[in-house]
Amino acid sequence: MERKQQQRRSGYSSMDEVYQLEKKVIKKEYEHKQFLEEVIKSGKSKRIAITGEPGAGKTTLIEKIAVWIHENNKKLPICIPLGELQGKTLEDYLCQNWLQTALHFKDPSLTIGEEDKIKVQQSLKNLFYKSEIWLLLDGVD
């Protein structure tokens, strides 16, 4: 679902004005495959929010999007449950926790020295700078 841009308020607004809903904020609704093709593949949206009640399938949808990104865009999707950050910045979490887990998952016997660890972290950062990574954050609500 794509929502239209809402107008910004200027000056003082009463509480009734602040919480007044517009009659129509939805610009376009998508079917699943159409959403993947038009929004994800095209890259026209830098930030996408998936909202819904608990148990509505948001996490499952994020996982399906991650698989689709990997299979169709050949980029690296990284899913992060925000509850795992535990006060760390995203960069610290990715470099200290996620990367270690990903390397261990790829090869459980792999051990790398501090110098190689820094190189791998820099490689991950370079992928971000080149827009080769899709960061999928779960649990924003």
For the chain, the domains span 2-138
Instruction: Please state, in angstroms and as integers, the Cα–Cα distance from residue 55 to each residue in 6, 108, 139, following that order.
Output: 28, 33, 12
13-55 pLDDT, tens digit per residue, is 555 554 454 555 556 777 878 878 777 777 666 777 787 888 8
Q: Answer whether 39's CB lies under 8 Å from 61's CB.
A: no
67-112 pLDDT, tens digit per residue, is 988 888 778 889 998 888 888 998 899 988 898 888 888 888 888 8
CA angle 91, 92, 98 (to 5 degrees): 90
CA angle 106, 92, 61 (to 5 degrees): 60
How many Å apart are CA 79 and CA 102, to the nearest integer? 11
* Tokens 């994800």 -> residue: 40
Note the pLDDT of residue 21. 47
